[in-house]
Structure 1
Amino acid sequence: MTATTTKKPFFSAKQASPLRLADSVSDAIAAALFDGRIQPGEPLPPEGEIAREFGVSKPIAREALRQLTAAGLIFTQQGKVARAKAISGEPMERIYGYAVRSSLKSLQEANEMRRVIETGIARLAAERRDPEGLKTMTQAIEDMKTSLLDPAGFTEADILFHLGLAMATGNTMIRVQMEGLRSVQREVSELFSRRSNRTDADWRQTIKRHEEILDAISAGDADLAEAKIKSHFKAADIASLEVADKLEGRRQ
């Protein structure tokens, strides 16, 4: 008699609750993505194999994969197995992008959210000082200096700086959150970079504020890092009359 080979479950799956079958399946697969059992670009098991492992029907397995695709965790192509995507803030970035372009109030609220979030991030960055984050922030400042009077280039450098700020915490979830806020950063930075009265001195002062944030974080001074990020947001307050007028004009 031939011995039966027992295959180790891929997802360490538990029996799915009948009340939320697809949710249970997608939760277990997402856990495998987040803890590294499935690396970005790697294929997931075929739909039928997923269904068998979880003890559900193929339509339930298909719905779980649709949920993961919508969340930006996997990508699928017709006739091919699903593959894992690198964890990123892309889905949030799209949502925030729709929101901040919808009204001045939404943009103000989003920027207020950034102020609250990044204050805490600056403190943690000063405590952790992840080298890759500090390197990214330094590169961003150099990019700013070479992009003076170039709104598009300066905006991308600004976005890179704040991503580096998040990376300096060494916290993946904070990095993902900052990636999600890129659409908010881009909208605000582009508006301020294109102000009609922005002078060369104004551009350089913006760079100086970023340098002061980096210096405080590099020194491990959490209190100073928090103070500098607050000062930065105060200087870039989108409630200014000129920016508000420009926003309203764009939405009419």
Structure 2
Amino acid sequence: MSESFATVEPLAEYPTLAARARAPRLGVTVVAALVDAIVRGDLEPGTSLPPEGVLCEQFGVSRTVIRESAKRLEEKGLVSVAQGRGTTVLPPTSWNMVDATVLGALVANDATLGTLDDLAVVRASLEAITARDAATRRTDNELARLRDALVLMRETIGDEPSFNQADVVFHEIVGEITANRLADSIVRTLFTEARASARFHLHSELDITLREHERVFAAIEAQDADEAEAAMRSHIVDAWERRRPPSPKR
């Protein structure tokens, strides 16, 4: 990175960034801290990252760690590294939104819940595809595993954490049945980051959630692809509407 830095103030303004990085696996935490700063808008598009010397001092790491961190940011679409011009922050249109670190920062810093709203729409579309595929591809053994997950949901309806874990297993099995590995992989990333947000975990009516899963299961059991797709799409959208905390719409 270039030492000719004048567009962004040293990160002394952001002491929490350095504090987060002074931990094991410094390269990972430096990247996470800088991703968070970029997503939050502390480091704006078109500006340069602070010079290596400043970042080394702020984070207490070597130049090698900072250079490797810049490469990781570039891979995520957050910055452009150019010899002699330093490391420039890119606009959100360049970011890899399904990268786990980027998506996690977007969810954590989204006051309007717009990212979680978008996540629900995308997840509903992709999981509808996987449910449709599962209905046409499922074997008797896979159906039995799905039934077991549904039974566990019924048995744990009075224990929300256990119920939610059975819910996750149900969706994972549907994803495993599908032939669309790309859709399943993206869904897992989206779901993982959504569940990591405290705003995703408001109490939801478990009896309604159970009925929605029963509808999905019945469609997959009957090998009704159209119904499986519709049932899963409706479940994802409606479940988020029930969970969504009050906040300004975008």
TM-score using structure 2 length: 0.51
SS at match of 2:244: helix
Alpha-carbon separation, structure 1, partners of 2:185 and 2:141: 15
- Structure 2 counterpart of 1:220, one-letter code: Q
**Is it true that 1:221 corresponds to 2:221 in the alignment?**
no
Counterpart pick for 2:109 among 79, 83, 102: 102
- Structure 2 counterpart of 1:211, one-letter code: E
Structure 1: unaligned runs, 5 residues or longer = 1-62, 72-90
**Post-superposition shift, 1:128?**
1.2
Contact 2:131–2:225 (Cα < 8 Å) also in 1 = yes
Q: Which residue of 2 aligns with 1:207?
A: 210
Contact 1:129–1:168 (Cα < 8 Å) also in 2 = yes
**Post-superposition shift, 1:153?**
1.9
Aligned length: 154
Counterpart pick for 1:186 among 195, 200, 206: 195
Q: 1:243 to 1:219 in 2, by over 3 A?
A: same
Q: 1:185 to 1:161 in 2, by over 3 A?
A: farther
**Post-superposition shift, 1:180?**
1.6
Contact 1:123–1:222 (Cα < 8 Å) also in 2 = yes
Structure 2: unaligned runs, 5 residues or longer = 1-67, 77-97
Contact 1:126–1:219 (Cα < 8 Å) also in 2 = yes
Q: Which residue of 2 aligns with 1:158?
A: 167
Q: Which residue of 1 aligns with 2:158?
A: 149
Q: Which residue of 2 aligns with 1:231?
A: 234
Alpha-carbon separation, structure 2, partners of 1:164 and 1:133: 8
Q: 1:187 to 1:146 in 2, by over 3 A?
A: farther
SS at match of 1:143: helix
Counterpart pick for 2:121 among 82, 107, 112: 112
| Rg (Cα) greater in structure | 1
**Post-superposition shift, 1:192?**
6.6
Q: 1:158 to 1:98 in 2, by over 3 A?
A: farther
Contact 1:130–1:170 (Cα < 8 Å) also in 2 = no
Alpha-carbon separation, structure 1, partners of 2:142 and 2:211: 18
SS at match of 2:226: helix
Q: 1:174 to 1:237 in 2, by over 3 A?
A: closer
Percent identical residues: 27
**Post-superposition shift, 1:210?**
0.3
Contact 1:151–1:193 (Cα < 8 Å) also in 2 = no
TM-score using structure 1 length: 0.50
Alpha-carbon separation, structure 2, partners of 1:234 and 1:218: 22
- Structure 1 counterpart of 2:185, one-letter code: V
Alpha-carbon separation, structure 1, partners of 2:144 and 2:199: 27
